[in-house]
Amino acid sequence: QVQLVESGGGLVQAGGSLRLACAVSGRTFSNYAMAWFRQAPGKERDFVAAISASGATTTYADSVKGRFTISRDNAKNTVSLQMNSLKPEDTDVYYCARARRATVFTTTDAVNYWGQGTQVTVSS
């Protein structure tokens, strides 16, 4: 069973920064694309950022472009989301996700493993 363990969520003031991390079990982490999604209560789970298996390709939701950066360290089996210039509307539960494939993705149907979710709250 592949497990994704997230850390780094918390409370931050608007304009501040947080860095989320996701540690992934298994020996084949480098074979799969990874992503971050976020979800507010009563809302759909929305795409935030994705990175290809090699780390060579990234893609971002328009709402976070220029502010968030996804990265991965295949030697450490981790994926991170650096969040800068945070806004109150970034307040959500953030989920780490592993795909069934190596190429970047933006939809939940491409996900075969989810993290438990970590709360990010941005105060105004």
Give per-residue pLDDT as tens, 34-74. 999 999 999 999 999 999 999 999 999 999 999 999 999 99
Q: What is the pLDDT of residue 26?
A: 81
Q: What DSSP designation does 64 have?
A: T
pLDDT at 22 over 90: yes
Give the torsion sign (CA, 6, 50, 110, 106): positive
Environment class of residue 28 by beta-carbon count within 10 Å: exposed (0-12), middle (13-18) or buried (19+)?
exposed
CB count in 10 Å sphere of residue 36: 26
Q: Which percentage of the chain shows pLDDT scores above 90?
A: 96
Residue 112: pLDDT band (50, 70, 90) is very high
Contact 58, 50 (CB under 8 A): yes
Confidence of residue 1 (pLDDT cuts 50, 70, 90): confident
Structure confidence at residue 35 (pLDDT): 98
CB 20 within 8 A of CB 80: yes
Query: Which of 23-32, 68-77, 85-94 has the weakest average pLDDT?
Result: 23-32
pLDDT at 28: 87
Query: Hey, is 73 helix, strand or coil?
Result: strand
pLDDT at 27 over 90: no
Catalogue the long-range contacts made by 80-85 (C-beta closer than 8 Å, 24 or more residues apart).
Answer: 80/19, 80/20, 80/21, 80/22, 81/19, 81/20, 81/36, 81/48, 81/49, 82/17, 82/19, 83/17, 83/18, 83/19, 83/20, 83/120, 84/17, 85/15, 85/17
